[in-house]
Structure 1
Amino acid sequence: MEIERINDNTVKFYLSYIDIEERGFTREEVWYNRDKSEELFWEMMDEINDETEFEIEGPLWIQVHAMNNGIEVTVTRAQVSDDDNADAHFGMDDPRKHYEPDPSMFTNPEQLMNELNDEPVVWTSDMFVFEEFENLIPLSKKIPPYSVKSSLYSFENKFYMHVIYDEAEMDDEDKSDFCSIISEYGSLSQVTIHRLEEYGKIIMESDVLETVHKYFGE
């Protein structure tokens, strides 16, 4: 999970589907089961509070974006004036009870529409972030060959590997296996390729892991 403190009242976190599954939830539960999505949300807020001291006070505004490989959640503490009182509005003193998301808050509307039309949702690419370039070296030795196109960028003192899957060669199970191996050394990121192309520095234009292994893995 990646956490970004936007300001005193707002925090954003990104949770990949691998992170979700490691916490004992499934995509379907998070999308369609209100109790499960709420349980996951409060687990994340407890973790965020431990790491950033973002305390839950009063009602929360929650914005969720579903992405190919995870969910991005922005949480803002609603501002209550001195003349106002959150408890008076909500009739309770437990801030967790102020949480009233839509039952489908984690639903990707586009994905639901595709499912209703019996059109499969295509998982075409992923972005991975590595804290150190050295993390790529043992990965390059361990990972078997997969049918992917890859490029490597540096941005804000981290390294980002963009991967495009060969849909003719890799199914979702192959992609999940690929992500699981990489997650031992890096993690999924919500940074887009467009942002990296504009603000990052290209390190390798293609065949990232093969190139790393060739020059650093011997």
Structure 2
Amino acid sequence: MRIERLGQDKIRIFLTFDDLSERGIQREDMWQEIPKVHDLFTEMMDQAYTEVGFDATGPLAVEVFALPAQGMVVIVTKGKYDHPHMGGGASYEDELPDEVYEMEVTLETSDTILYSFDDFEVLIEAAHVLHHMLFDIGSLYKYNGKWILRMEPEQLEEGKVPGLIAVLAEFGEATSVTPAMLEEYGSLIMGDHAVEQICSHFKRQS
């Protein structure tokens, strides 16, 4: 579980699938009103207070983004119930006791695959490996000093996705950035066929 403070009243929490499985939670459980999901939210808020001093008293707007290769990104905002809901999300009032947390939860899911790379040379190496599997895919962004490779589900053959993710995980790391954040705050470097372009312009080191 990774917690980052985005502002005075906003934090971002990144949960890997390992974080969820350790607590006996499946991805689809986040859509359920069940005690172990309540326990997870309580644990997140406790850890947020300990690590970044985020006081979760009062009304909270909670946005949960499920990403296929990364896990869950949870954005928590204090005192805002009137934030615009993003298209496609289910919204419900969390029934936690008022004296604990009062939350409105918005759930979103995305099939976009996003992986970040600290070093462009490592990204070049990953692109050359990926090129043998799927060459005409991907867009490349620069965000917070990292290179982010983005792949949409319609670009991928379903049977090749596990192998693709295995390569990405070997060279890069799952990122807590959502597609919407990348589009709003990232810089688009290569809009189409990023893997092919990288391989065409840059040679492997080894």
Question: What is the TM-score when the length of structure 1 is the normalising length?
Answer: 0.59
Residue in structure 2 matched with residue 129 of structure 1 by the alignment: 116
In the TM superposition, residue 26 of structure 1 has moved relative to its aligned partner by 0.8
* Residues 37 and 106, structure 1, Cα contact 8 Å, conserved in 2: no
Which amino acid is the alignment partner of residue 60 of structure 2? W
In the TM superposition, residue 142 of structure 1 has moved relative to its aligned partner by 6.2
Residue in structure 1 matched with residue 147 of structure 2 by the alignment: 159
C-alpha separation between the residues in 2 aligned to 1:10 and 1:36? 24
C-alpha separation between the residues in 1 aligned to 2:124 and 2:21? 27
Computing the radius of gyration over CA atoms, which structure comes out larger, 1 or 2?
1
- Structure 1 residues 204 and 30 mapped into 2: Cα distance closer, same or farther (>3 Å)? closer
- Structure 1 residues 97 and 216 mapped into 2: Cα distance closer, same or farther (>3 Å)? farther
Q: How many residues align?
A: 183
C-alpha separation between the residues in 2 aligned to 1:209 and 1:18? 32
- Structure 1 residues 72 and 167 mapped into 2: Cα distance closer, same or farther (>3 Å)? same
Which amino acid is the alignment partner of residue 195 of structure 1? E
Which amino acid is the alignment partner of residue 190 of structure 1? T
Aligned identity (percent) is 22
Residue in structure 1 matched with residue 93 of structure 2 by the alignment: none
C-alpha separation between the residues in 1 aligned to 2:167 and 2:33? 29
* Residues 3 and 48, structure 1, Cα contact 8 Å, conserved in 2: yes
Which amino acid is the alignment partner of residue 62 of structure 2? Q
Residue in structure 2 matched with residue 64 of structure 1 by the alignment: 63
- Structure 1 residues 30 and 201 mapped into 2: Cα distance closer, same or farther (>3 Å)? closer
Which amino acid is the alignment partner of residue 9 of structure 2? N
- Is 1:195–2:196 an aligned residue pair? no
Which amino acid is the alignment partner of residue 127 of structure 1? L
Which amino acid is the alignment partner of residue 11 of structure 2? V
Which amino acid is the alignment partner of residue 74 of structure 1? I
Residue in structure 2 matched with residue 87 of structure 1 by the alignment: none
C-alpha separation between the residues in 2 aligned to 1:141 and 1:195? 28
In the TM superposition, residue 143 of structure 1 has moved relative to its aligned partner by 5.7
Residue in structure 2 matched with residue 186 of structure 1 by the alignment: 173
Query: Structure 2: which 5+ runs fail to align?
Result: 81-96
Higher strand share: 2
- Structure 1 residues 107 and 195 mapped into 2: Cα distance closer, same or farther (>3 Å)? closer
- Is 1:170–2:153 an aligned residue pair? no
Q: Secondary structure at the match of 2:123?
A: helix
In the TM superposition, residue 176 of structure 1 has moved relative to its aligned partner by 4.5
